[in-house]
Amino acid sequence: MGAAEALAGIVDTERYPLAAPGGAGWDVLVSRTRDELEKTGCCVLPDFIRPALRDALRAECGAIAPHAHYDVETVNAYNIDVSTPLPEDHPGRLTVERGNAFVARDHIPAGSVVHRLYASGLFQRFVAACFGLPRVHELADPLSGLVLNVVNPGMEHPWHFDTNEFTVSLLTQEPEDGGVFEYCPNIRSAEAENFGDVRRVLTGHGGDLVRGLTLRPGDLQLFRGRYSLHRVAAVRGDTARHTAILAYSERPGVIGSVARTRQLFGRVLPEHLAAEGRAVRVDRLLD
């Protein structure tokens, strides 16, 4: 089976013509997606995954969800050490409990829907075009390149910024209630932290800056989470919220830090130890 046929078996390529790069349909889709990302930092492609695959998608991710690493911990929006010396009114001093969990890539079967999508060269080409990049690379990190985010009932993924320049995610299971994705479009930039507005949101006084987004299984989300503060609100009911996160980078060979990897997965591998200290920052933001 060729790459185009393989992708067409996963993605609704009639609606989203990823299998024909450079064609008229491709150009229109990429242009529309890029415009939305430029305006709001977020674009959702509804029903991206073929409806016939959604049950398999949910079942595959449900089967690996028990491998998620749980560690309720006190964090801030920048995911830096909460004991870091900061000015009294700095938003990094505001802390919450993080109760969401992650399944690492080495627990996700290579034949699963999300893994096949993540590794697809045509899909990667589409992602790169949408973010205005010549190409994207799978993370070299054996744990964090492709993960499943699990938010169980009663839990939330609190306000935070991403360390990646951009994120691609796919909802695989929606909760019975709650679990709304909320974000503040471009609340900061590579040049300006905008601590005042960030503090307003974190203290509950920045509702004018917040947008809500209810996603459905099979919806693809492209997001510039480095610059947009975001969270998943508390999940209610009896069903967990599952989201596959497909992480790419502009640069090859990217591996997460030891501290961040241990925080997310409860373990590190020799690759993380070997790469420590070699990370290249793309900006001077707090994190």
Q: For 95-137, what is each residue's pLDDT tens digit?
A: 988 877 999 999 999 999 999 999 999 999 999 999 999 999 9
More confident call, 286 vs 225: 225
Neighbours of 110 (CB within 10 A): 8
Q: What is the pLDDT of residue 1?
A: 63
Nearest to 103 by CA among 139, 143, 160: 143
For the chain, give the mean pLDDT.
92
| CA separation for the pair 14, 12 (Å, rounded) | 6
- Give 212: exposed, middle or buried? Use CB within 10 Å, 0-12, 13-18, 19+: exposed
Longest alpha-carbon distance in the chain: 60
* Residue 136 and residue 127 in contact, taking contact as beta carbons nearer than 8 Å: yes
Neighbours of 35 (CB within 10 A): 11
Q: Which two tokens stand for residue 55?
A: 């049950």
| CA separation for the pair 271, 274 (Å, rounded) | 5
Is 33 a residue whose pLDDT tops 90?
Answer: yes
The angle, 0 to 180 degrees and rounded to 10, between the axes of the packed helices 24-40 and 121-130 is 50
Is 156 a residue whose pLDDT tops 80?
Answer: yes
Which ranges of the chain would DSSP assign to H, the alpha helix? 3-8, 24-40, 54-64, 113-119, 121-130, 195-202, 258-265, 270-275
| CA separation for the pair 8, 211 (Å, rounded) | 32
User: Is residue 164 very low, low, confident or very high in pLDDT (cuts 50, 70, 90)?
Assistant: confident
- When pLDDT is averaged across residues 197-217 and rounded to a whole number, the result is 95
Nearest to 232 by CA among 209, 212, 205: 212
| CA separation for the pair 271, 225 (Å, rounded) | 25
Structure pTM?
A: 0.92
- When pLDDT is averaged across residues 9-34 and rounded to a whole number, the result is 95
| CA separation for the pair 235, 53 (Å, rounded) | 24
Q: What is the pLDDT of residue 263?
A: 83
Q: What is the pLDDT of residue 73?
A: 82
Q: What is the pLDDT of residue 205?
A: 96
Instruction: Dump pLDDT digits (tens) for 73-102.
Output: 888 999 888 889 999 999 999 998 887 799
Is 243 a residue whose pLDDT tops 90?
Answer: yes
Is 287 a residue whose pLDDT tops 80?
Answer: no
Is 163 a residue whose pLDDT tops 90?
Answer: no
Residue pointed to by tokens 């990823």: 18
Nearest to 180 by CA among 231, 242, 243, 138: 231
Contacts of 28 (CB under 8 A, 6+ apart): none
> What percent of the chain has pLDDT above 90?
78
Q: What is the pLDDT of residue 286?
A: 74
Q: What is the pLDDT of residue 79?
A: 85
